[in-house]
Structure 1
Amino acid sequence: MEHRQLGRSGLMVSEVTYGNWLTHGELTGREQALSCIRAALDAGITAFDTADVYAQGAAEELLGASLQGVRRSSLVITSKVCLPTGDGPNDRGLSRKHIMESCEASLRRLRTDYIDVYQAHRFDERTPVEETLVAFDDLVRQGKVLYLGVSEWTAPQIESALTMAGELGLRSRIVSNQPQYNMLWRIIEPEIVPLCLREGIGQLAFQPLAQGVLTGKYGPGQDWPEDSRANAGGRAPSFINRVLGRELLSSVESLRPIAAASGLSLAQLAIAWVLSRPGVASVVVGATKPEQVKENATGAGKPLEEDVLRRIDEVLGDLIDCDPAKTAQMMAVKPAWARSRS
């Protein structure tokens, strides 16, 4: 497993990050999660991503328990704050109160003294940006957080935070952005990627497999696999079923010979594609089985030729979404490549 520098920071992250959104605490139990974590470590993955809102804290607890006994300095643990973790008026957002309390709770659940990269999970329109930035900076000064990041922020929101941090004279700055990014969903390319390249912010791209669509497991006109996310419990089906359509699935099948010619599976091709994009430091991939972890990990370190990238674009065509206006709306917006199952 190769490692890359996160933006212009000195932090090195493995090209594949193990993430536990929609898995730990929802789709997998403790033993299954532990086996996946072991597989990740065996594959050379050193970066692990979670958030306080995942399974309402259960994901952080499982990750913390699974990493016990592993040398802490060899790991990079990222977590996030902003989305609702309770019913109270202060159990959400990026106020100083919620940031400070959520960080302490995450540290307890993760069984660690510090979080390597602490990210603002979404932008908070209610809270002044300076309040958020000062709270984050204080956590860095206290040694509870080492680096700061954002997730699903627009380019103007990121730029305003960078400007404000400079005006306030804060020593800590944003070094990472965690966006949804894959062959189909490229909305960060027009505005966010150029800004981040200029400002030294690295991408920790999640959903490189488009919720499993780009693995080829969902064949056009076929029943979904029993052990897939589309047939799973919890919130997974609501996320995956909204993007499964005949046109999309047929196009994904057309990618199979391109992957085979490169000696890759469809999943490995999808991961290699994201890692080939400018500014990407790591791809965040979840798994419910150790075998999936191993396959995903081998998608790293596989550079793609320009001809392969061109053929991918030709196959996907109009299914590719590059609309920057959809940044920060991925939870609500139906992607342009989503079609009816019939």
Structure 2
Amino acid sequence: MKPTLLLTDPLFLQHDPGESHPESPARLQRILGVLARAPVRGTVMAPPRSATDAELAAVHTPQLLARLKELSGRRASIDPDTHVSADSVDAARLAAGASVQAVEMVMAGKARNAFALVRPPGHHAEPDRAMGFCLLNNAAIAAEAGRRLGAERVLVLDWDVHHGNGTQAAFWGRRDVMYQSVHQFPYYPGTGATPEVGTGAGEGYTVNVGLPGGNSDADYGMLFEELLLPVAESFRPQLVLVSAGFDPHYHDPIGGMDVTERGFAAMCTAMRSLAERVCDGKLVLLLEGGYSLEGLSQSVHACVEVLAGRTDSFPPGDTHTDAKEALVASRAALKPYWSALS
């Protein structure tokens, strides 16, 4: 059995948005500490490479890349939430490269699957704008790498508590990359409403499920089984990417959801099973948010166990009325495009 590849580097700990900022180096330190104390059999940890100029330019504008280059080696604020220290731009470039390298290894059959344990996160970074703790959009850069390596269709599933506006924007008018997101709504950044399904050639290839908060493992299980997975299966991706944010955890100080470690393991199991059915298991997870150190680290560990072969299921429980209503609304918005929802 090929190994599960874990990509990380000490440089990611050098990105320091400032004292008391929730996206702190302690997030990755805690994850690595848990993995060191309880190593997962069948995993291999390796250092990544930095992204090339061409890999970044496949997603981001020359103006944004020039602005980030200007900020390299400096401490500065991009917006009230997004700050850089001397090593932040280098760390962001390495995070993007780790995401590409994970795709390269999985597409080449050298890894069973992969998890890029990186920071800063990426899914809020738009093609022309850094925002929301994010400098470069790791998921979009990885998706473009998958396309270059021969994946005609790439799925990006985003379970972060915040909508990935940047990833959606990158592929809004395209049908070769499907973006699916289940998130809290209305909430930062304000995008991800149910009617947002794409435009032009990409109409129907953006899938948004907005939940009001307080939603459980059972709610997520219902949404996966009755909407996200049927559409994904119909799309038949040749590479599956997950923007794996762990801020829906019930202990998270920023999110407002009620997801447990088992819920994340079940979501990861669902995506691994999908990838095994449709694309020979080609699955890559990319670390996004998650600000409870305990909830984040334990949930990441649970997902690494799943990538290495463990299987978990959504725990039984009652689903909330608001989650059922969100499911009905999203199915109605997507039904004209996907017969699996009829």
Normalising by structure 1, report the TM-score: 0.40
